[in-house]
Structure 1
Amino acid sequence: MFWSRDDGNLPPREPGRLLVGNIDIKPDAAMLFDLQKKHGDLITLKVVGQTIIVVCGYDTIKEVLVKHDESTSAHTASFGFSEYFELSGMLGASGTKWRNQRKFGHEAFRSIDSGSNNLESRVLELPDFLQEIDKMKGTPSDVDRLIKTSHYNIISSFRFGKRFAHEDGILTRLVDLLDEAMKIVNEQLALNFMEWLKYVPGDPFKVRRRRFLVNEIFKIVQKSIDEHKETLENPKTSDFIYSFLKEQGKRKLNKVS
């Protein structure tokens, strides 16, 4: 059974099943492109009683998040951000907290992007990747892991301020942890609408496993933060952690004064 009742001023809605709504819709690119062609850049979905507005297209996303940020900055947090990240960060926060986080993020990345060692130059640093390709000597190889380590290395360069060798233990460990954690995200989609399922015996939604993975990732990040604190007065490079620590210091001074 399907329903398609209109809800006031909401965007066009994809018909769904009785009671559970659009629970069968997979949030992948192909499905969202199909919905965009059918309904336009704004689409309403209903999943187990919750209303979801899907925003597509660069111009529409900019219109919603930038020009109307006062109206859209408050949002319901997904299970992952409430369970593992305590509604923090630019993706997990909401309202004024989110706007402050976003403003800091823009300023931090603008600062990192200045000078000769900007974001573009870090992305174009490919010698290590090409060297690994040369080692394969033209033989058929699975380059999935090589591409992942290269991708995370780019992120590491502006987050931690350094790149790692492809076989570096920290980098490979980080890739393994993030890779497994991202796979579990899709297995936990139902928890966004029925959080009580996390108490089902046997951990079928891998809530405890993802907790372990997140904690291990935190340990790697915390170690880098501790190293940055030791050189905060004389930073070796420009990266996101240095920017965050400096901003944190400024705010503490402002509170004291």
Structure 2
Amino acid sequence: MTDSVTPASDPKVLLQVENVFAGYVPGLDILQGINLKLLAGEIIAIIGPNGAGKSTLAKAICGLLSPHTGTIHWQGQNIAGLKPNEIVTLGVCYVPQLANVFRSLTVEENLEMGAFIRDIPLGDLKSKIFTTFPRLADRRRQQAGTLSGGERQMLAMGRAMMLEPALLILDEPSAALSPILVDDILAKIREINTQGTAIILVEQNARKALAMSDRGYVLDSGKDRFEGPGPQLLDDPNVGALYLGGHAATQSRPDP
């Protein structure tokens, strides 16, 4: 499958990944010709089995991994091979699954670290984050290492939002959280999106991710196996049988 629209032909395309091969060991590519596009204002979900290349794709987009071949265009500029700090300045922020906060710093200090490249007053930005995440406001002087898992995830997202990115890439934001906290985190992600930030959501909870996304990509063995509107993929019997443990509309157990 190949996305035919290019950044030059459609100004609504923020991100275009074309035929990307990438991996961590020379000669052993995890991504095997991935294609993906993101439109302005979208949430797209990236799902698939363990080892499919979901996190590898996220790292390639944000510069933590350089593709061996292929292109990654951000707003018309090929960013493949740029360093992460260069990509951040273009408006792309990545929140990893693990080690995503400074545990010894307070909540407020973490937010300030998130804006380290900005030479502007931070009061309004912090107030905006505290409005989005009221729990963080209540714990602003608390060390991040003492927060709950859900609160640390909120802080990690809030710290990234201090840069007011055009794109937020979230890698497994609901991992290891209780079902109630999963719903809370996903609701916050939707809220951030409605404020104008595009989202790439790499998520283990495939059903919920697809249900809330404009479009989804299903990866398998480093290839983009299926692509389409999120709810449509959720109801696709082929996707359900292969990746959701049966037809999605009739299955409610969590992903293995």
Which protein is richer in helix relative to its size? Answer: 1
Q: Name the TM-score, length of structure 1 as normaliser.
A: 0.24
Q: Name the TM-score, length of structure 2 as normaliser.
A: 0.24
Q: Which has the higher contact order (CA 8 A, sep 6+)?
A: 2
Which protein is richer in strand relative to its size? Answer: 2
